[in-house]
Each structure stands twice: as structure tokens, then as C-alpha cells.
Amino acid sequence: MTHDVALTCALTGAGDTSEKSEHVPVTPEQIANAAIEAANAGASIVHVHVRDVESRKGGRDLAHFQEIVERIRDNGTDVVLNLTAGMGGQLQLADQDPRTTGNETDLVPAEERFRHIEDLHPEICTLDCGSMNFGEDTVVVNRLIDLRWMANRAKELGVKPELEVFDMGQMQNALTLIKEGLIDDPPLFQFCLGISSGAPATVEALLAMKSMLPSGANWAAFGISRSEMPMVAHTMLLGGNVRVGLEDNLYLAKGVLATNGQLVAKAKHIVEELGGSVLSPAAARDRLSLTKRW
């Protein structure tokens, strides 16, 4: 099966990648320029994190989100904005005594995690649908009580939650939100594959998660690192939308560092070689039932 796809570019993420590639954007200006580059290369959607400029680590500064959105809008670039709401759930525990939290801990109430969504009203915001391990000593905490609050608030704001699921247990949480009427139809899922402690980037895992989708759902998937481009092909052929970007993978080919625009162009080429096409931002809004914000 081949079809037209919405292509998301995840621009920077929150991982420790900026020291590994000079192309990973850090400042609001760099992230906005990366969004414009990705849109010009053919991306339908850009997924936006912000970083602390001094530490270069993932952040959640409202002023940074505001500057990025303003720069994209002032440029006149038409692209669907997907802002993360995943920051503020990080719990680092000491190696020997888990009662002691580490310096990387950033745990805040759901309201604080959603402050930039309240302020900027993007077309999409991410909703990470469960807790999981990241690395040796860190847990990302997404309690169901917080997911319910954020899903309900997104519904009130008219922002489409992208239900990010990293394994089948998180699929169950996402389905709970839908059953409780907290997610408007059609729901939007993103399968996040290949992350340690989550589902592997395999066709079998993709099929298992796809089998749990409710009728009429829109969905996408991505794989990290060397699985990025193979998952573009697999996902498209199975009827899903696709995602690439420097949040997920730093390389265009073995040993060749990529830019976001190059990854978008490569994914677009794969889609077209398989007989499909990439949706424009306007067509993606229609497909995903989004409201244009500017």
C-alpha cells in the first residue's frame, strides 16, 4: 500500500547530541532556521523542542518557544507546528540510593509543562503516554493523572495531542484517554521505536502497535539512528505518516553528518520512489483535522 504522507521533522530534541554534531540547533534562532530549512525541503510538520543556550541541554523556557514561533511566523513559512509538552517529567535517581535525586531532575506539575501550549496554541502538542527508563539512572515520569489533565486542557484549547507511544503499555494509556472522551476524533498517534526500554524498531513491533489503533485514527512512526530511513519506508507502506530529523538521527549516511533539511529531502525521495507523495502543510491540516493558527 502506498499513499500520501504527512512528513514531520523533529528538529533538535532534548538528548545529549549537540556536542556530536555541529548541525544540531541549540539557540531559538538556530531552531527556527532549522524549521524553515525543513519546511523548504518538504516537511509538512516540524516538531519543536527548545534547549538551554548555555548548557545546550533540553529545556522548557517559554521565551524560547515564543521566539521560535515568532521567527517562523515572521518568515512567512507555512508549516504545521508541533510543540513538545514532554519536558518537566525527568527524574534522575542516585546510583546507590534511589531516595536521592540527581542534578538532572526536572519534575514540575502538568500545568507548568503545558505553559507554552497555553500561551502559543500550536496546531499539535505531544503527549508522551507513559513513564519509562532513559539511560541507567533516569526515569521520565508521565502519570495517568497528568496525562488526563493535559489531554483535557489540549481539548479545551483546540490543540491536537499527538499521542506518543513507546510500547504497547503506553498504547493502553492512550486508548484509556480516548475511551474517557479526552481526545477528539480523529486521534493522532506517533509510534516511537528503537528507544532503549521501549519497543524495538522492527516491522513486527510496528504491526503490533498498529493492530491496537482505534478505527479512523491517524498515525505515524519513526525509528532512531540507523533505523530512521528504513522505518520511513515500512511505515509508509503500512499506511502511516512518517518522521525524521536530528532529534532521532544525526547521520545522512555512514560517517556523514546530516542537517534537518537533508534528512527531510532523503525521506521525501524515499516516499516518492515508493509511489507516494508528501502532503503540503495545508493538506496535512486537512488529513489530521487541524486548525491553522496563523
pLDDT per position as a tens digit, 223-276: 999 999 999 999 999 999 999 999 999 999 999 999 999 999 999 999 999 999
Question: Is 169 domain-assigned?
Answer: yes
CA 108 to chain centre: 20
What is the rounded average pLDDT of the residues 144-150? Answer: 98
At residue 144, what is the residue type?
L
What is the rounded average pLDDT of the residues 135-154? Answer: 96
What is the rounded average pLDDT of the residues 197-206? Answer: 97
Question: Is 145 domain-assigned?
Answer: yes
Q: What pLDDT is stored for residue 95 in this prediction?
A: 82
Q: Under a CB-based contact definition with an 8 Å cutoff, are residues 224 and 194 in contact?
A: yes
Question: Is 74 domain-assigned?
Answer: yes
Residue 2 has pLDDT above 70, yes or no: no
The domain of 9 spans 4-288
Task: List all residues 6 or more positions away from 113 whose beta carbon is below 8 Å from its beta carbon.
Answer: 60, 85, 86, 87, 88, 89, 146, 150
Question: Is 153 domain-assigned?
Answer: yes
**CATH classification of the domain holding 101:** 3.20.20.70
pLDDT per position as a tens digit, 80-131: 999 999 999 999 998 888 899 999 999 999 999 999 999 999 999 999 999 9
Output the CA torsion sign for 56, 58, 60, 64. positive
Q: What pLDDT is stored for residue 1 in this prediction?
A: 52
Count of domains observed in the chain: 1
What is the rounded average pLDDT of the residues 159-187? Answer: 98
Question: Is 187 domain-assigned?
Answer: yes
Q: Cell numbers 511566523 correspond to what residue?
A: 73
Confidence of residue 36 (pLDDT cuts 50, 70, 90): very high
Question: Is 99 domain-assigned?
Answer: yes
Which of 94-101's residues contact partners 24+ apart within 8 Å by CB, and which partners?
A: 94/137, 95/136, 95/137
Per cent of the chain over pLDDT 90 is 95
Residue 26 has pLDDT above 70, yes or no: yes
Residue 292 has pLDDT above 90, yes or no: no
What is the rounded average pLDDT of the residues 181-199? Answer: 97
Q: What is the mean pLDDT of the chain?
A: 96
pLDDT per position as a tens digit, 47-87: 999 999 999 999 999 999 999 999 999 999 999 999 999 99
Confidence of residue 135 (pLDDT cuts 50, 70, 90): confident
Question: Is 293 domain-assigned?
Answer: no
Q: Would you state the torsion angle of the CA atoms of residues 144, 150, 156, 159, taken in this order, to the nearest 10 degrees?
A: -120
Give 229-245 as a 3 state SS string.
Answer: HHHHHHHHHCCCEEEEC
3-state secondary structure of 180: coil
Question: Is 50 domain-assigned?
Answer: yes
